[in-house]
Amino acid sequence: MTQNVEKKEDDYKRRYQMSKGRLLSDMNFNGCNEYLQEIKFFLEQTMTKADNNISLLRLLYINTTFLLICTDFVIKGFISVDVKTRIEILQNGFNYGERGKERTESITNAAIKLASSVIVNKSIATTLKREVDKQTKDRAVEILSDYFAKTTNMNSLFKNASLFEFHAYSQVVTTPSQLPIELQSIIGLLTDFFRIDRKKS
């Protein structure tokens, strides 16, 4: 095994341990958003890497497991509200994490104000604000919130998490196209969220 491959394996192990640890420390929207970033990384890796593809699929499936468990835990906090309110709460959480929109914007504005006070070029502050706003708008969180807010999908989160876990640890790893249809739909949901071409995933 070359040094480069060993380094990759070590990085994947570190990522796995950190993801697993979030189940104890970050069972909230911050944790959900961290899992989404891991899923994006491994989705992109499975499309671009010919080597070590089995390990990448295992890590994609286990991080999807963790996302569903974390989302299931979060949703239980507002399970009794109507679907429209659920969607609003989920959109806010997936966009801004635990701080929420108001607190996040307050911190962002304070940081930009501080930066503009020490930077000679005042247009940079405007550019920073525009970029922050763009990044938020570019996140298609309504795709996730609409899906997770539906009662039937919400009630299936833990069951589907268990299925993803089974495929992550299975002796023979199943490709996404051969997964059960309910799991394929979740992979499709995530690729749409990240604007990844499904044909490549």
pLDDT of 2 higher than 80: no
Mean pLDDT of the chain: 84
Write down the pTM of the prediction: 0.81
Helices (H), the chain: 3-25, 29-48, 53-75, 83-96, 100-118, 123-138, 141-149, 151-155, 157-169, 181-193
Query: What is the predicted pLDDT for the residue at 48?
Result: 74
3-state secondary structure 94-132: HHHHHHHHHHHHHHHHHHHHHHHHHCCCCHHHHHHHHHH
